[in-house]
Amino acid sequence: MTPKEKAKELVSKYLRTYPIYDNPTVVISYTNNEAKQCALIAVDEIHEALKQTFHQVHKKTEMTPDLYLSESIAVHYYQEVKQEIEKL
């Protein structure tokens, strides 16, 4: 999935109407701007989780070229997703 596709997917998930506390008569609905803000928060959380995960791996093992490449790709991907969300 391209960063642009992922950005659209994340924002669209927040544009849905959700029942609150399993009560179908009380719902929450976000505006497009609010949905974008929620998606940006989600991407920040993913980015932080990636950093924490790789940090833990680095502490336990030596940094290998494959591990470094995996970290770079993952971090770069979510940076691009964040930029695409901001463009929406």
Whole-number Å distance between alpha carbons of 64 and 70: 10
pLDDT digits (tens, 9 = 90+) for 15-50: 987 777 777 777 778 899 999 999 999 999 998 888
Q: Which residues form the domain of 50?
A: 3-87
Q: Which amino acid is at 3?
A: P
Query: What is the tally of structural domains in the chain?
Result: 1
Question: Three-class SS of residue 88?
Answer: coil
SS3 per-residue string spanning 34-80: HHHHHHHHHHHHHHHHHHHHHHHHHHHCCCCHHHHHHHHHHHHHHHH
- For 71, the token pair is 């970290």
Whole-number Å distance between alpha carbons of 29 and 40: 17
pLDDT digits (tens, 9 = 90+) for 58-85: 777 776 666 666 777 888 899 999 999 9
Q: State the pTM of this model.
A: 0.78
